[in-house]
Structure 1
Amino acid sequence: MPDANIQSQMTEHFLQDNQYPLSILSFDNIEILLAQKDIRFITPDYTFEKNTLPEKHLGYITDYSTNKGQHTGEAGKKLNAYAFCSELKLIKTFPEQKPQCVILKHSRGEIAVLCRKIRNITLNNIHIQTIPQCMNSTRMPLTHLCLYQEPENDPKLGMMSNADSLFNYILNYV
């Protein structure tokens, strides 16, 4: 169970009663955990448009729909799309296999992040620790480390972030 100080810092990202609804975003052999409240929705169905200036972002996501098949893309609306490699660097080319897309809500709007795999979990047994000051950097989108255990699996060390930290990391990266 997180200590009281960390619990108070995490209140805006997690529900109380020791229930932590998280999404695990899998990139190239790396996973980042995000609070589900930072996610607008997850979709495997979208149209990708390559960016002519790939140093800015990978491209655009348009014509996206929710998991329930409802079309949610506003006419003509494009969301910048980003993807990460295992070193948490932004990749500049669209992956060979079409990735899943997660639409993140950050304080200034929305972005699309392409992931190899996305899964939702609710954890009851998790210990959350703020990233040590020596690891705090604009070159890393992580906010917390956690020790968690999913049913029938060994304990894992997880890296946590949030939509604002990922967005700020991307802004500082490009």
Structure 2
Amino acid sequence: MNLKFKSATARLFMYFFTLAVVGTALFQIPIFYSSKQQIPLIDALFTTISAICVTGLSTVDMSVFSSAGFVLLMLLIEAGGFGLVAFFTIYLVFSSGKVSLINRNIIKDYFTEDAEVEAKGILFRILGITFSVQALGALFLAIFLRNSGEQNYIFYGIFLSISAFCNAGFSPYSDSLA
């Protein structure tokens, strides 16, 4: 069976569907939990979809996740947040074979000074800006968390920065950010 998804909607669906399946499957591996008890499949699916759709909802206490579990959450949040931006950019550039003058000017104003618009260049620029802002946020959060006595201040600073930048709303703390 040859599965070629030609429509933009089908490709976007397959991107998020694949992320959901892979994330849920990975959350079935015990290394992602702080104890030997893993969460039920439905909770793993809910948490994964919440991460890739950047809603930040979880049916389980976040303390069940190990550092590896938080890294997986960060990767899912990044993939979900960047997926829409990347897909929209590629769709915008290649939807009609040519970029309209209005869209070209929008892209030019926000992303590049060149009149020639290239999707790959724009995506790398978006990635660079994203990671720069997240790194700056992680630095500020790590300083704040260190001053408040948090032992894992660097790791939690990175996690919170990614979660905040992507508007995901996840917190590594059991009581959220209270």
Say which one has the larger Rg: 2
Which structure: greater helix fraction?
Answer: 2
Which structure: greater strand fraction?
Answer: 1
Report the TM range for the smaller structure's normalisation. under 0.3
TM-score (norm 2): 0.22
Higher relative contact order (CA 8 A, sep 6+): 1
TM-score (norm 1): 0.22
